[in-house]
Structure 1
């Protein structure tokens, strides 16, 4: 084949490609899509380099035994995953869950689950009640909304410091309870330290959920309430048949976000009691931090992080595929 023939075929191929490209982006809609992609492209690049890349590296580290003081990671396969998951929680009559030194991972899972069960329902129900009260025409409504939302503007660490001072042995709470003999070291007792952390989370979670529920309430058409009043319904019936069905999407979003956040709790537990006393406030995120940055076991900490990711992913997948497809009955 001559050089001229080859050159002709290459030119023909390039011409066809250019024509196809022009046809794809000839329409105004496709041009808008291309412009939108170009605007998003820098964010995709940053995400890939600074977020997705480290996630892949952490996944690799989860299969290694790497201490920050050593030179190179040592490949150990699934040993990190087997090590953190054994012995199983049901071994020895579930005694593993009551003995942190036997398996600290399952103890942290139990503490995190207890924290989630204790905080999520209270924070959601409290936020809904506050939203229902502040959605009415009352005096100083904006002031009350700001007061309820104020804890959300504080970081978890700041909130924990404030409540640690309030619940201290010589704090405000014990000053009030001491005359009646109910003073207690709330943060220093292993039996009450986790409940103190839960109190902080509920205090801050109510305001955040209130704002989301308020947004949902304000999107409900007033005509539905007018029709319900014409039918002679009372306040509870309007809530049951009008408000609640129209808040299903909002409620679904709040519960998913609250549970995911509760499984990632770290700042409150770290600042309030640093995981103690006697592992009472050691949550999963707290344990991952301790293994990685206090004990230097990066490989084991990475394995714990991906097990936590699997738990959150499984829950989210269930919520969006099973509960998300349920029909709302009005």
Structure 2
């Protein structure tokens, strides 16, 4: 008479033999059937990607060569003469003309000459200031909060709180703080330093940079905190044995071992700053005097305020080209600095 334990063991043996036979059948299946099964699993993702992402991108690329109207839904090719040949690139030519070096670089100083190049100038200045400070600030804050300090969870939540706010909410809050009659000037007015930080063309872009730093440092802090967790403690212990102080441990252990994090943070920061839109629109709607008109704000105005969708999509693909060049250049730098073992 079989015992309960024996019946259980027999059941496990039967289940194991069934699994082995199933696995052998899968392994012995012809490669054509395996390929077909893989294709069937991939097809739904390919369909969704093509319909909702690739298709609209290709259609927008076609629209960039047309004079397309939202209400009519039809467009005609925008022809122009280029190098003696008639080509449907009038949108691109009109956007880029006149070139910045014409008229003694006036298009970079005044939006009345060429608004595209003035928006490019604003975006590049914004990126040049915000990206380095975001990266260094996020790294330093993460380094400070990675140590043994009291209430570090509260500090982490406080630094990350701006990331949780929407761009529109952030822009409205800071407009309220930095306006001529805002909260900041209530403290500066008694000492005679009140100023329309959000209302002056001289300071509006700087105020927009402040908003970008306020939100970006907390986001980069989270990424650097994740990177710091992956650095082995043995490396720090070896550096201490060799007599390295805190600054040298950061320089020779922490910073080099965060190379992948640096690359990821830099690329995300460049893409995000070149595509700055929500805070610029909510903060000053591109003003005053076009001081906060970035590339994406200009694309939005061109498409939805002027109903010039062909021209707007051409601007969008020019922006894509700029972001691609910066990202690819950063990738090449990362590949050259990578050390093989």
Q: Is the structural similarity TM-score above 0.5?
A: yes
Classify 1:37/1:254 alpha carbon distance in 2 versus 1 (closer, same or farther; 3 Å). Answer: farther
Q: Distance in 1 between matches of 2:124 and 2:73?
A: 37
Give the alignment partner of residue 75 of structure 1, picking from 77, 86, 100.
77
Q: CA deviation at 1:315?
A: 1.4
Q: 1:44 aligns with which of 34, 43, 46?
A: 46
**Alignment partner, residue 56 of structure 1:** 58
Shift of the 310–35 alpha-carbon distance from structure 1 to 2, 3 Å rule, reads same
Among 221, 228, 234, the residue aligned to 2:239? 228
User: Aligned-pair distance for 1:71?
Assistant: 5.0
Distance 1:269 1:317 in 2: 26
Residues 1:37 and 1:235: Cα distance change in structure 2 (over 3 Å): farther
The structure-2 alpha-carbon separation of the partners of 1:89 and 1:217, relative to structure 1 and needing over 3 Å to count, comes to same
Aligned partners of 1:126 and 1:206 also within 8 Å: yes
Cα separation, 1, equivalents of 2:43 and 2:127: 37
- C-alpha separation in 2, matches of 1:252 and 1:34: 37
TM-score between both structures, scaled by the size of structure 2:
0.85
Structure 1 residue runs of 5 or longer lacking an equivalent are: 1-20
| Inter-CA distance 219–34: structure 2 relative to 1 (3 Å threshold) | farther
> Equivalent residues in 2 for 1:1-330 (5 A)?
23-25=30-32, 31=34, 38-70=40-72, 72-76=74-78, 77-327=88-338
Question: CA shift at 1:37, angstroms?
Answer: 5.1
- How far apart, CA to CA, are the structure 2 residues paired with 1:255 and 1:324? 14
Aligned alpha-carbon RMSD (Å): 1.7
Change (3 A) 1:142 1:71: closer
Aligned residues: 304
Q: Deviations over 1:258-284 (max 9, x none)?
A: 011100000000101111111111000
Would the aligned equivalents of 2:270 and 2:327 in 1 still touch at CA under 8 Å? no
Shift of 1:74: 0.9
- Aligned partner of residue 202 in structure 1, secondary structure: helix
